[in-house]
Structure 1
């Protein structure tokens, strides 16, 4: 039985990984995050408090549990925060990854690293794994630097890039594009949505599956992991409105430039998933299916 250590286990993806392992995966899970465990079930796995910026603590946890694989989900993912606080963004996204991958190299641990479509400039999406990166934001830059640190190491590694992850956590503490759109439309207040950015939104459960498949199959190299449907952000929000029968007339389409965001976003990303489907047997849900899963989880959380 493989032992998997997950960083950032309190986040959306981290919690979905815990859920998957508890439901049907024959692996031993070590969930780690900064602060107390926020997953509501404490049995069936171990939780260790671990701040990825504290090298000695990270080293100690890895020495204690001797994992076969590390799935590194912890990162600063807020693009504008990354632009405004570059030093902290670098520490979390680059320095922490360098430390982890060095420890994996030293201890012969399979390193599965989460990355992003934001390493691309969005000029020619959808992208294949070996397309040339050209990040537009500091966040994208740090994620690319982290990838380079992983690729240059002698560790056994896989990089999973993903796009616009959505889903709900048990405590509903993490927002994302789907929950934001649903919540805003339910309030009946007019909302502005960009119509010049295209993405392939990814259900958190699908991404968790891909992470575990990468560990099970001892995957090597770069893999693109997203949903299968390509759409503009405006279309995405309209699909959310349709699914929950909410008023679409309050949605106004705007251009990205009019938002005056701190960090620049790529226009058209999206991924060609052929390699991941072939090598990892990855089988993502459609966006409609993903919304149904989220809806069921929301209903269950209200009970």
Structure 2
């Protein structure tokens, strides 16, 4: 089994490399647009530069490497950036998927494609795979369009993994996440505003990587929801983080979404029902408390 990962420098990409690097019977190829951020950690990892928005590069790399499976994690995921730079968002999130899906179909490669809870409007949650998408933002519209590309590519074997609010530790810099943002702000004695009218099932990056591996290993077909089990607001998440690190919860100010002016609209209530992934894949996510503890150990080890 030969697995090619796109976006190996990103959070999920890094966790997939960590999970699969020395897995018996797997040949692993990491690809990303920039230089390999994991070169020091995994010196024998095969790394191939790849810009998925360039059709000739996609064709060349897939023909050269000929993986049996491809896990596509590369994407433009900042909701507000996508709203402000819509053409770039579409190129990275839709056009690139068109190139990858066509090449995967041509070379008989199974594709696992990553999608998001932002394909939904947030009026009802948690949601099962059969729920009707209705995105509110350009990011959500681009990810739904990419799902349609995958589903509509003739001869393609595919699985779509939708996920929710992924958090974890990233090597080599990058965006923060709710756990580290709350911990670091409170440690500095900074008061922070946290919304209490949005609901999510936060997803540990290691769990999402495990779910993607289970999909690839079984050459699964169809849409799967992969997230944590607990439906929480960011304010509730922040309280758990403060409790774990024994920080001052009085610094957490409970607000609603109208407090913030953001270019991209967020769905109020999503979260996923993950029964299908549990039943068909054996997917078993950590609790949010376990995820916080894991992040604490990882950040202390790298400090």
What is the TM-score when the length of structure 1 is the normalising length?
Answer: 0.97
* Residue number in structure 2 paired with 1:111: 111
Map of 1:162-177 to 2, 5 A cutoff?
162-177=163-178
* Residue number in structure 1 paired with 2:126: 126
Contact 1:22/1:44 (8 A) holds in 2: no
1:82 to partner: Cα distance: 0.4
Contact 1:12/1:174 (8 A) holds in 2: no
1:23 to partner: Cα distance: 4.5
Map of 1:233-244 to 2, 5 A cutoff?
233-244=234-245
* Residue number in structure 2 paired with 1:55: 55
Is 1:102 the counterpart of 2:94? The answer is: no
Q: Describe the shift of the 1:25–1:297 C-alpha distance in structure 2 as closer, same or farther (beyond 3 A).
A: farther
* Residue number in structure 1 paired with 2:230: 229
Q: Describe the shift of the 1:256–1:25 C-alpha distance in structure 2 as closer, same or farther (beyond 3 A).
A: farther
- Counterpart CA distance in 2 for 1:24 and 1:296 is 23
* Residue number in structure 1 paired with 2:7: 8
1:188 to partner: Cα distance: 0.9
SS of the residue corresponding to residue 278 of structure 2 reads: helix
* Residue number in structure 1 paired with 2:149: 149
* Residue number in structure 1 paired with 2:89: 89
Contact 1:28/1:45 (8 A) holds in 2: no
Is 1:288 the counterpart of 2:284? The answer is: no
- Counterpart CA distance in 2 for 1:180 and 1:228 is 22
1:248 to partner: Cα distance: 0.6
* Residue number in structure 1 paired with 2:78: 78
Post-superposition CA distance 1:273-297 (Å, at most 9, x none)? 1100011110000001111111111
SS of the residue corresponding to residue 131 of structure 2 reads: coil
Map of 1:134-213 to 2, 5 A cutoff?
134-154=134-154, 155-213=156-214
1:299 to partner: Cα distance: 1.2
What is the TM-score when the length of structure 2 is the normalising length?
Answer: 0.97
* Residue number in structure 2 paired with 1:276: 277
- Counterpart CA distance in 2 for 1:77 and 1:163 is 12
1:25 to partner: Cα distance: 5.0
1:80 to partner: Cα distance: 0.4
- Counterpart CA distance in 2 for 1:120 and 1:6 is 26
Unaligned runs of 5+ in 1: none
Map of 1:253-268 to 2, 5 A cutoff?
253-268=254-269
* Residue number in structure 2 paired with 1:45: 45
- Counterpart CA distance in 1 for 2:254 and 2:90 is 34
Post-superposition CA distance 1:243-284 (Å, at most 9, x none)? 111111011111111201111100110111110001111000
SS of the residue corresponding to residue 249 of structure 1 reads: helix
* Residue number in structure 2 paired with 1:32: 31
* Residue number in structure 1 paired with 2:16: 17
Unaligned runs of 5+ in 2: none
Aligned pair count? 301
- Counterpart CA distance in 1 for 2:91 and 2:186 is 37
Contact 1:168/1:294 (8 A) holds in 2: yes
Contact 1:11/1:174 (8 A) holds in 2: no
- Counterpart CA distance in 1 for 2:268 and 2:25 is 40
SS of the residue corresponding to residue 21 of structure 2 reads: helix
